[in-house]
Amino acid sequence: MVRHTVVVGGGVMGSAAAWHLASRGDQVTLFEQFPPGHDRGSSHGTSRIFRLAYDDAFYVGLAVRALPLWRKLEEETGREVLELTGAVDHGPVGATEALHRALTAAGRPVERLTPDQAAERWPGLRVDGTAVFHPEAGRVHADHAVEAFQEAARQHGARVRHGVKVTRLAVRGQRVEVVTDGEEAVVADAVVVAAGSWTPGRLAGVVPGLPPMRITQEQPVHFPAPDALGWPSFIHHGGPDEAVYGLGSLDGVKVGFHGVGPVVDPDHRDRTIDQQAVARLQKYAERWLPGVDATEPAALTCLYTTTPDEDFVIDRRGPVTVVGGFSGHGFKFAPVVGELAADLVGGGNGLDRFSMTRPRTGG
């Protein structure tokens, strides 16, 4: 008997889950509340960082696992979504050495750089203190990735329905009822809830024990640069303010602070740009990014859904699989997240690190 699985949320995670589930033979229906290519959530735009460099072996291993799955997606769809341009991490020696140790332990290429060596390679990027470079990093085109996952899911028979909002979930024994805003009621064998910042609301009263998730609006900017597509992705650890990330893209060099935006309601935010945050990023660029035009910032907004420990939630309760809380660093792992979700739907075990019942840490 073919299992019918509904996926709630057509961002990168839900679309990746739909791909894996459909490729395994599930009858998949994906509901996304907004039109294709929308910019209301966390999966839009031209750039997300892909990198292996974490000071945590768990996430290094997860990123290593993701890399061939991104390539598999590209092979199935004929779309290029991941471009490896390398990544530079710089700042205090403690931070860079921890990354060097983690990548070396995983058997991945990494090298130390002096500020002069970095400046010679990338004159538009000024390095602070010590630096490491690893080549297995770069950027994912976010919009193209979502489109590719959905295209691949369709190729395996999935139905992808945009403009359909799920308003209610109800567990009915071993099955689950999914009700839409059009009063359509679908009874499925399983549901994957991957609704980004809407996940806590969709699961209210349905799944007990969900970790708290803080929803914030972040304000990165793009700065013009003539060679933006040649830039490595980069992270400035322990910078003059919070940690700063950046990468080249079709829209310029994207730069942002990590997870410092105001708390918002995803349904009622006005997406007003925080001009103080933009001014801080301009000041940062003037000092550390001589290769960009800091006088012409193009600001945008996106949503972070952050757990107290910044680990993800990928877990199952009965017929409901929860995929959420990606805390501003999950996009790179999307094809693995989809695989983990499909494993859970199929009755497999999840990873303890992403369990809803893990010990609560963090702020």
- Give the span between the Cα atoms of 17 and 8, in whole angstroms: 10
90 has pLDDT over 60: yes
* Alpha-carbon span 42 to 133, nearest angstrom: 27
- What integer pLDDT is reported at residue 241 of this predicted model? 60
Quote the mean pLDDT of the chain. Answer: 96
Q: Are 190 and 5 in contact (CB under 8 A)?
A: yes
Are the C-beta atoms of 291 and 225 separated by less than 8 Å? Answer: yes
Question: So what's the pLDDT on residue 180?
Answer: 97
CB 319 within 8 A of CB 191: yes
Mean pLDDT across 215-238: 96
pLDDT tens for residues 248-284?
999 999 999 998 999 999 999 989 999 999 999 999 9
Instruction: Tell me the pLDDT tens digit for each residue of 170-220.
Output: 999 999 999 999 999 999 999 999 999 999 999 999 998 899 999 999 999
Region for 347 from its dihedrals, namely left if φ exceeds 0, alpha if ψ lies in -120 to 50, beta otherwise: left
Mean pLDDT of 2-31: 98
pLDDT of residue 243: 87
**Alpha carbon distances (Å) from 186 to 169, 191, 252, 288, 346:** 10, 10, 43, 53, 20
Q: What proportion of the chain, given as a percentage, has pLDDT over 70?
A: 98
- Helix axes of 142-155 and 334-345: crossing angle, nearest 10 degrees: 40
User: DSSP 3-state assignment of 354?
Assistant: helix
Task: Name the token pair of 324.
Answer: 């959420």
Q: pLDDT tens for residues 28-46?
A: 999 999 999 999 999 999 9
Residues 291/127, Cβ–Cβ less than 8 Å:
no
Residue 359's pLDDT is 86
Position 240 scores a pLDDT of: 54
pLDDT at 308: 95
- Cα–Cα dist 27/21, whole Å: 8
Please give the span between the terminal C-alpha atoms of the chain, in angstroms, as a whole number: 45
Q: Give ∠ CA 222-226-232 in degrees, rounded to 5.
A: 65
Q: How confident is the model at residue 239 (pLDDT cuts 50, 70, 90)?
A: low
HSE-up of residue 4 (Cα within 13 Å, Cβ side): 11
Domains and CATH numbers, the chain: 4-44+143-211+308-354 (3.50.50.60), 84-139+215-306 (3.30.9.10)
Task: Indicate the pairing of strand 252-257 with strand 221-223.
Answer: antiparallel
Instruction: Please report the pLDDT score of residue 98 as a whole number.
Output: 97
With 0-12 CB in 10 A as exposed, 13-18 as middle and 19+ as buried, what is 275?
exposed
Whether residue 88 contacts residue 234, with contact meaning beta carbons closer than 8 Å, is answered with yes
In sign, the C-alpha dihedral spanning 319, 354, 68, 78 is: positive
Q: DSSP letter string over 272-315?
A: ---HHHHHHHHHHHHHH-TTS-TT--EE--EEEEE-TTS--EEE
What does the pLDDT look like over 306-336, one tens digit per residue? 999 999 999 999 999 999 999 999 999 999 9
Cα–Cα distance measured from residue 94 to residue 39, given in angstroms and rounded to the nearest whole number: 37
**Bridge partners of residue 133, in order along the sequence:** 88, 111
Nearest Cα neighbor of 65 from 359, 358, 356, 351 is 351
**Cα gap 206→208, rounded to integer Å:** 7
Confidence of residue 297 (pLDDT cuts 50, 70, 90): very high
CB 279 within 8 A of CB 299: no
